[in-house]
């Protein structure tokens, strides 16, 4: 055993020497047997040929992703209810509903992020978000899936991506919450990959004396993780053809929107997106563009101010569509990409990365000291042969919990959950008291079991019309 370890160690040493990463074994001699084996294993997992390129291109320098010279706005379907295409939309709703009833659509949430901005202990899915019952994000989504099961007659399977940093804690949450009422066999939890973290001079950082510092490889990593984990195989067995992708932080998401699913499927698209009209030209969301005829998301930081503020004769922005990380992805598209082999562009994030220094002391940096490398899901869009975009409304579908305070904070999300509930209730003909500034003068929460959409709610309230007085708390379930 000792001998094998020595040989292993020697060959790893050689590789590290060749790539200027010898410091990773600085504390090797002082490690116990298990830790040594783990460290060597972790190092062996790295693909140093790819790593060297990344270090040159993205770690030591910041090579900006090249933005194509000719950018055109991407065409899109306007939001439902404002459209001239009502016939097409009605047909799509029928088509999408049939796919849901046939069990051909699965839910897929990416929850492998670290949620550093929110600063919440534990997986973000356990964050209590709903305004009255303080339901967690995971619970709200599970209740939505159960409600969709009742509505369409088939409970969709739920795929949940975690990362090695939060997998155990997430599994523990599902176990201790009895899978939030879902059948255990309908939930598939799997982990994404990681990338090492680097100092600015291209050295891989150590988290402790025997462990490399790593970060999840970005939500773009989901396309490989779905395949490697066996999730795609599982979908195939179940007859799932469409993957409804969303991110853990957005409780307003309509996970199973028959209109979106139907338009995507009827148009023969491989990967599609929902989009918002941006609040202002430089809102920090990706911009939907058309590059060489392919839908492409250009990050807000890569669009020049001139491009971002360019206007059409009617005053609307030329690049008016913002990306909100809601997609329908064909199972066969993920299979095809993985079978062919594919690489998404690398994005560099400068971060404060805790690590141990040369003396073996833990350093908790106060300012950014290194680089994390990630890929993004929207970068797969140009790989799709066909891709449609459906506009949605912010107040209806997008209120992410990102920050502890201010914009995109839980306070804003809760306010938007109440606001959406108020809008739905008013649309059903019930008066909602409002304050002078127009915000609801009451606290409202609609359980997914009560209604998944405005239309569902109208149907339910026909039976039972509540009276909502100023200042009341109303929970509909």
> Which residues contact ligand UTP by CB under 6 A?
110-117, 161, 163, 192, 216-219, 221, 247-249, 374, 402
**Based on CB atoms, which residue is closest to ligand UTP, 115 or 131?**
115
Q: How far is the CB of 132 from ligand UTP (least distance, A)?
A: 24
**Residue 468 beta carbon to ligand UTP: minimum distance, rounded to whole angstroms:** 33
Looking at the Cβ atoms of 83 and 349, the one nearer to ligand UTP is 349
**Closest by alpha carbon to 399, among 248, 271, 195, 229?**
248
As measured in angstroms, the least distance from the Cβ of 285 to ligand UTP is: 12
Residue with tokens 């002391």: 361
Least spacing, CB of residue 303 vs ligand UTP, in Å? 18
Least gap, CB of 220 to ligand UTP (angstroms): 8
Question: Which is nearer to ligand UTP, 111 or 291 (by Cβ)?
Answer: 111
Which residue in the shown chain puts its C-beta closest to ligand UTP?
113
Nearer CB in complex with ligand UTP: 192/423 = 192
Shortest Å distance, C-beta 377 to ligand UTP = 8
CA angle 171, 445, 154 (to 5 degrees): 55
**DSSP β-bridge partners for residue 323:** 275
CB nearer to ligand UTP: pick between 16 and 110 = 110
108 phi, psi to nearest 5 deg: -140, 110
Nearest distance from residue 372's CB to ligand UTP, in Å? 9
Q: What is the rounded distance in angstroms from the CA atom of residue 42 to the CA atom of residue 367? A: 27
Centroid of chain to Cα 404: 18
Residue 435 burial class via C-beta count within 10 angstroms: exposed 0-12, middle 13-18, buried 19 and up: exposed
Query: 3-state SS of 441-463?
Result: CCEEEECCCCCCCHHHHHHHHHH
Nearer to ligand UTP, 247 or 273 (CB): 247
- Is 208 exposed, middle or buried, given 0-12, 13-18 or 19+ CB atoms closer than 10 A? middle
Q: In 3D, which of 286, 259, 310 has the Cα closest to residue 65?
A: 286
Which of 202, 244, 223 is closest to 96 using CA atoms? 244
Report the DSSP beta bridge partners of residue 457: none
Locate 361 and state its tokens.
């002391």
Q: Which is nearer to ligand UTP, 143 or 249 (CB)?
A: 249
Nearer to ligand UTP, 192 or 296 (CB): 192
- Sign of the Cα pseudo-torsion (7, 9, 10, 12, in order): positive
Shortest spacing between CB 35 and ligand UTP, in angstroms = 26
């Amino acid at each position: 055993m000792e001998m094998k370890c020595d040989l292993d160690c020697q060959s790893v040493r050689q590789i590290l020497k060749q790539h200027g990463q010898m410091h990773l074994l600085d504390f090797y001699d002082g490690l116990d047997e298990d830790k040594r084996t783990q460290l060597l294993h972790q190092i062996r997992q790295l693909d140093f040929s790819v790593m060297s390129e990344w270090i040159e291109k993205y770690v030591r320098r910041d090579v900006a992703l090249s933005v194509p010279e000719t950018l055109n706005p991407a065409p899109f379907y306007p939001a439902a209810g404002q459209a001239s295409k009502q016939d097409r939309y009605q047909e799509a709703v029928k088509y999408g509903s049939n796919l849901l009833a046939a069990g051909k659509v699965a839910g897929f949430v990416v929850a492998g992020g670290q949620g550093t901005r929110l600063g919440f202990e534990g997986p973000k899915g356990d964050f209590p978000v709903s305004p009255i019952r303080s339901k967690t994000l995971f619970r709200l989504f599970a209740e939505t899936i159960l409600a969709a099961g009742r509505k369409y007659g088939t409970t969709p399977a739920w795929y949940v991506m975690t990362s090695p940093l939060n997998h155990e804690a997430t599994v523990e949450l599902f176990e201790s919450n009895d899978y939030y009422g879902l059948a255990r066999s309908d939930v598939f939890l799997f982990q994404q990959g990681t990338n090492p973290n680097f100092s600015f001079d291209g050295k891989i950082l150590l988290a402790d004396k025997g462990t490399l510092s790593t970060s999840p490889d970005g939500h773009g990593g989901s396309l490989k993780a779905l395949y490697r984990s066996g999730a795609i195989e599982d979908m195939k067995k179940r007859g799932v053809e469409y993957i409804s992708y969303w991110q853990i932080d957005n409780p307003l998401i309509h996970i199973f929107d028959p209109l979106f699913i139907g338009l995507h499927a009827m148009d023969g698209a491989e990967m599609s997106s929902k989009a918002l009209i941006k609040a202002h030209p430089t809102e920090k969301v990706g911009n939907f563009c058309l590059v060489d005829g392919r839908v492409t998301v250009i990050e807000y930081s890569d669009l020049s101010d001139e491009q971002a503020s360019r206007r059409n004769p009617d005053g609307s922005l030329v690049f008016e569509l913002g990306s909100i990380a809601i997609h329908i992805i064909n199972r066969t598209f993920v299979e095809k990409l993985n079978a062919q082999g594919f690489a998404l562009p690398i994005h560099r994030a400068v971060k404060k990365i805790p690590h141990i220094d040369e003396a073996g002391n833990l350093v908790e940096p106060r300012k950014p000291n290194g680089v994390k490398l990630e890929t993004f899901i929207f970068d797969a869009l140009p790989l799709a042969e066909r891709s449609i975009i459906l506009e949605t409304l912010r107040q209806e579908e997008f209120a992410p919990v990102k920050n502890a305070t201010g914009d995109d904070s839980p306070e804003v999300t809760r306010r938007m959950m109440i606001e959406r509930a108020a809008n739905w209730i008013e649309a059903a003909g019930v008066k909602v008291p409002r304050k002078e500034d127009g915000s609801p003068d009451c606290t409202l929460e609609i359980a997914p079991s009560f209604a998944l959409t405005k239309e569902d709610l109208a149907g339910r309230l026909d039976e039972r019309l509540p009276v909502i007085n100023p200042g009341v708390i109303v929970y509909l379930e």
